[in-house]
Copies of this chain bind each other. A is one copy, B any other.
Amino acid sequence: MAGNTFGHLFKLTTFGESHGKAIGGVLDGCPAGLELDFEAVQTDLDRRKPGQSAIVTQRKEPDTVEFYSGIFEGKTTGTPIGFAIHNTNQKSNDYSHIRDSYRPSHADYVYDQKYGFRDYRGGGRSSARETASRVVGGAIAKQFLQGIEINAFVSQVGALQLEKAYDELDFSLIESNPVRCPDPEMAQKMEDYIKKIKKEGDTVGGVITCVAKNVPIGLGEPVFDKLHADLGKAMLSINAVKGFEYGSGFEGVKMKGSAHNDQFNTDGTTKTNHSGGIQGGVSNGMDIYFNVAFKPVATVIQPYETIDKEGNKVMTQGKGRHDPCVVPRAVPIVEAMTALVLADFMLLGRGSKL
């Protein structure tokens, strides 16, 4: 159980290393009869891909997905959807310097300990390149979730934090700037800050907020597979994520119950939404919203001391083309994982009643 499958019924299995022949996956459990919009899939891949703007890594990877199965005459057949993205830009020599030493706060050291050795080319399986396969699966899940709107955006970069609540924002502005922050003024500040950090050869973290609207009531399974528990796992499984909170989150602990409780309107909606659209682990029809914290990227373009396999100190330096801040490119990944979780619970929910 190497943990490369996500979902109970709408199941995505991924494979592939950053510098292998191809990455890809198998999406199993997508119901038959879904007419696929292949351009929408590619659009999400393009939102994740390197080289899209001046504030992301300048690697060139076209990230074109090739579908092998599960689709006939443009529609899903109910059989597994196999796909691959061939790696075309494998500059393995960029990584020769990390073959024998361990980069701090990367998976190099623990992989060697766990598996006895590792594919040292660019992070191998621990590379965020794997998430391209998730974006493919998520883009199909989005299409299955007709009527549900999922929007993620950058709400914090370093200490620059969006003050406005999500419902004061215009989501149509998310894609209008390279940061993917729907507040143009703040987006500009964030962009400037990321450029400054990049010039220093350093990196910085950020927060992505995600909102799902029009989610039907009843998604989520009580007890262990609560909707927010699976959402949390989905987000925490994305590279560099350090935290997850939904609804009132960490701030909500300071409130009193009398103020925190969401009073009902007569139609079953609530006057406030501290619950974040989920009560007892089950969606209640209100907007679902949550925050995802990303740490600063570990690869800095500065000299640093580390150790080699034998435990000797060595001086080294980050090379290659890396992201100074991961959140702009992580926006479609957060959306993809959200869609996968919701699609999964849509199918699970079909078994709730007689």
Inter-subunit contact B223/A257 (CB<8 Å): no
Give A205 Cβ to nearest chain B Cβ, in Å. 3
Give A7 Cβ to nearest chain B Cβ, in Å. 9
Q: How far is the CA of A34 from the CA of B352 in the complex (A)?
A: 11
Inter-subunit contact A300/B261 (CB<8 Å): yes
Determine if A246 is an interface residue (Cβ-Cβ < 8 Å). Answer: yes
Inter-subunit contact B116/A32 (CB<8 Å): yes
Inter-subunit contact B266/A313 (CB<8 Å): yes
Determine if A61 is an interface residue (Cβ-Cβ < 8 Å). Answer: no
- Which chain A residues numbered 251 to 279 have a C-beta less than 8 Å away from chain B? 252-258, 260-268, 270, 274-276, 279
| Contact A260/B24 with A2-B29, A236-B229 known, Cβ cut-off 8 Å | no
Task: Bits for A213-249, please: 1 = Cβ < 8 Å to B, else 0.
Answer: 0000110011111101110111111000011111111
Residues from chain B with a CB closer than 8 A to the CB of A313 are 266
Inter-subunit contact A284/B110 (CB<8 Å): yes
Q: How far is the CA of A215 from the CA of B105 in the complex (A)?
A: 18
Inter-subunit contact A299/B257 (CB<8 Å): yes
Determine if A302 is an interface residue (Cβ-Cβ < 8 Å). Answer: yes
Inter-subunit contact B26/A26 (CB<8 Å): yes
Inter-subunit contact B280/A107 (CB<8 Å): yes
Residues from chain B with a CB closer than 8 A to the CB of A144 are 354
Determine if A5 is an interface residue (Cβ-Cβ < 8 Å). Answer: yes
Inter-subunit contact B243/A2 (CB<8 Å): no
Contact residue range for chain A?
35 or more
Determine if A81 is an interface residue (Cβ-Cβ < 8 Å). Answer: yes
Give A63 Cβ to nearest chain B Cβ, in Å. 15
Residues from chain B with a CB closer than 8 A to the CB of A79 are 2, 4, 15, 17, 119, 124-125, 222
Cross-interface CB contact of A110 among B8, B114, B280, cutoff 8 Å: B280
| Contact A243/B242 with A1-B221, A105-B260, A232-B232 known, Cβ cut-off 8 Å | no
| Contact A2/B68 with A243-B244, A267-B311, A351-B350 known, Cβ cut-off 8 Å | no
Inter-subunit contact B280/A126 (CB<8 Å): yes
Inter-subunit contact B254/A22 (CB<8 Å): no
Inter-subunit contact A347/B354 (CB<8 Å): no
| Contact A15/B82 with A28-B5, A353-B33 known, Cβ cut-off 8 Å | yes
5 contacts between A and B (CB under 8 A): A1-B221, A115-B353, A253-B296, A266-B311, A274-B295
